[in-house]
Amino acid sequence: MTKLLCTAALLALLATSAAAQPSDAALAARVDRVLAKTPLIDGHNDLPWAIRERFDGKMDKVDLARDTKALPAPAGDPPLMTDIGRLKAGRVGGQFWSVWIPADLKGPEAVQVTLEQIDIVRQMTQRWPQALEMAYTADDVVRIHKAGRVASLVGIEGGHQINDSLPALRQMYAAGARYMTLTHARNVAWADSATDNPRLDGLSPFGEQVVREMNWLGMLVDLSHVSEATMKDALRVAQAPAIFSHSGSRAVADHPRNVSDEILLLVKQNRGVVMANFAPGYASNEAARWASDRAAERTRGNAPPYAGNFIGQPEKAQAALEAWEKANPHPPVTLAMIADHIEHIAKVCGVDCVGIGSDFDGIPTTPAGLEGVDKFPGLFIELARRGWSDADLAKLAGGNVLRVMREAEAAAKRLQAARPASNATIAELDRPKR
């Protein structure tokens, strides 16, 4: 009898606990209220390059006012992940549009192509002014969000895009760029990348001057893609908060593109922000290993000029790769895994230093539940379910980024009052010592 009473009491307790849990509808309503007040600012979207690559940069070939999932995509690439309808459904209030260019573009060509990419962003806001508006300051973002439009900001994704020139950097800022990633996938002459063999062990003297000049301008220093040594050097030199526009936690997924706990503690001191990335290979150790194994399989099948099982036989090489993929399906990567990264960053660095950096339209696959810009609220619902308060959700959404922008703007005013723009050159600062 006693056992039956205990069982009944336990079942009643479980039923009461379940009833006390908020429903998904209630959580969604909470998230909707948060995102109505605080702009959701995504740190990284590669739509401008997708427009260039898929449609020759011609805006009349892509209508962002319509569902872009139906537009043609290159073989093996996913449909576009961004359009105005989905931005609204995702409650996006501010978007850093990446003006990425390939790392092998150098010199004046790199500068020109970067300006052309900035022009694509401007054309987007001109063609759809009812939905998109250029933003340059934190106050702009707040104003535009209140007006019901998406504040459109520009982020440069690689130091190679300024051609080792501080005047070019300043002109990029004048053209609208509000952050620059110090490197992309390869080293530049003055900074080491996370995915290249180290050459400088961080920043060169000119690289340090680039960081100082970005602070002087009010341009955010972006440390996604850079080596850990470069992160440390930049955070040491920085006179304003830095950002990671699209990076995860290395403790959760051990990829060199992610941020270690040691660096997270330095970011906390810097008052910066780490914006969690959605790329499956950075979100999951299993997905990263799968990508490495797939690359090896592709090399075995077709690796010119003189190796490969099917060299000169592209159809057979493709068939072999497809057979391998069928036998080795991609490991599942989910929205919950991205939430794990966010929670770890917040645990180590504090809830004041975490944000969102999707990498939409720059990644070949997405986590389940985060297939496009309309899916952002689901991530906030998951965190609300885990116990995040409305105030902390607001910080994650955009409050932290707005704070960092304001602090960078204030630092620029202070630094500009103290000195003029720098005329230093890489030849002067990085000259070998005798």
Active site residues: 44, 46, 157, 184, 225, 246, 359
**Which residues have CB under 8 Å from 16's CB, separation 6+?**
none
DSSP code for 384 = H
φ, ψ of residue 59 in degrees (nearest 5): -70, -20
* Axis crossing angle, helix 24-37 with helix 376-385, rounded to the nearest 10: 120
Contacts for 118-126: CB closer than 8 Å, 24+ residues apart: 118/154, 118/172, 118/175, 118/176, 118/177, 120/48, 120/51, 120/52, 120/57, 120/59, 121/48, 121/97, 121/152, 121/154, 121/176, 122/176, 123/59, 124/47, 124/48, 124/59, 124/64, 124/97, 124/152, 125/152
| Amino acid (one-letter) located at 326 | K
Do residues 391 and 346 touch, judged by C-beta distance below 8 A? no
**Euclidean distance between CA atoms 360 and 229, whole angstroms:** 27
For residue 338, what are its two tokens? Answer: 């991205």
CA distances from 394 to 35, 36, 380, 399, 401 (A): 7, 10, 10, 6, 10
